Amino acid sequence: MGKFVWTTLWQIMMSKIAPRNQSGEYIRPNSELRNWVKSEENSPYPPASGRYTLYVGMGCPWAHRTLVVRALKGLESVIDVSVVSPSAESGGWVFDSPELGCSTLAELYALAQPGYNGRSTVPVLWDKQTKTIVNNESAEIIVMLNSEFNEFAANPTLNLYPQELKEQIDQWNEKIYTYVNNGVYRCGFAQTQTAYNQACEQLFTTLDEIEAALANSQYLCGNQVTLADVRLFTTLFRFDIVYYGLFKCNLRRIQDYPHLSIYLRNLYQLPGVADTCDLESVKRDYYGNLFPLNPGGIIPLGPDISYLQVKN
């Protein structure tokens, strides 16, 4: 097969998983379902124990955020979790066994909104009572988990988004989302050299800035963990495992950063967090399902992440 034919096929396959602009830059579509669980009178989605389910994929960094906050807040007995897996054959997330009469996540979306034709992504915050999707935007779900279920939480006093730090947290969130969380995808899904070069340079410039900030601070906003740390953590956990190689983010590993590597280890060792980290699912979901980036589907044996378990 000639280079032109393979490149054309690759571009067609990439267009299915990674929408791009004319410059070949990956453009992430916005989440569409944006309602809120609120502790207020006449709220259609009031906080309650046992009423809501999180649908997650263990390899997905966006879904992983919700599991981390659920663990830190002590909401394991309050909010159920149901795991879906990516399927290259179906081109979407599927259930191991049918739930609510659905075999795929797309069917669950259609159950919530008949005629829905948007992207069927994780995480999903599902309301069992109204049988609908409350929200599918991870950044908003973790805010709800932090503040709206305190009366049921095992760790109600932990506030990951305190008022006095909101401006600083939001500033970090904006930068980290643009250049790190989404930045690794802008590298991996870039469809021109120029787009890749720009995304990769911005990614490592930002990681260098975070490294410098952590030289004098335990966490991004001082000595307490916040939602900004949660949002960064799930990308850092995957970085050396998949983004460094598969997404060509290979200027440096997180292990090569003195402060970032300690920061990642400390977050990993927070109570309950390690249990949300599924190394094998991460490797399987990325290497096994992103066919245009890894046509052979070979899943690497490494890397060794045992350093994350080393106690200070």
Could you list the active site residues? 60, 185
- At residue 162's C-alpha, the angle toward residues 158 and 167, to 5°, is 150
> What are the CA-CA distances from residue 229 to residues 27, 142, 151, 219, 270 (Å)?
24, 12, 24, 7, 12
Cα separation of 88 and 310, whole Å?
Answer: 36
Kindly report the number of other CB atoms within 10 A of residue 81's CB atom.
17
Under 8 Å between Cβ of 86 and 106: no
Is the torsion defined by CA of 287, 275, 153, 52 positive or negative? positive
Under 8 Å between Cβ of 200 and 249: yes
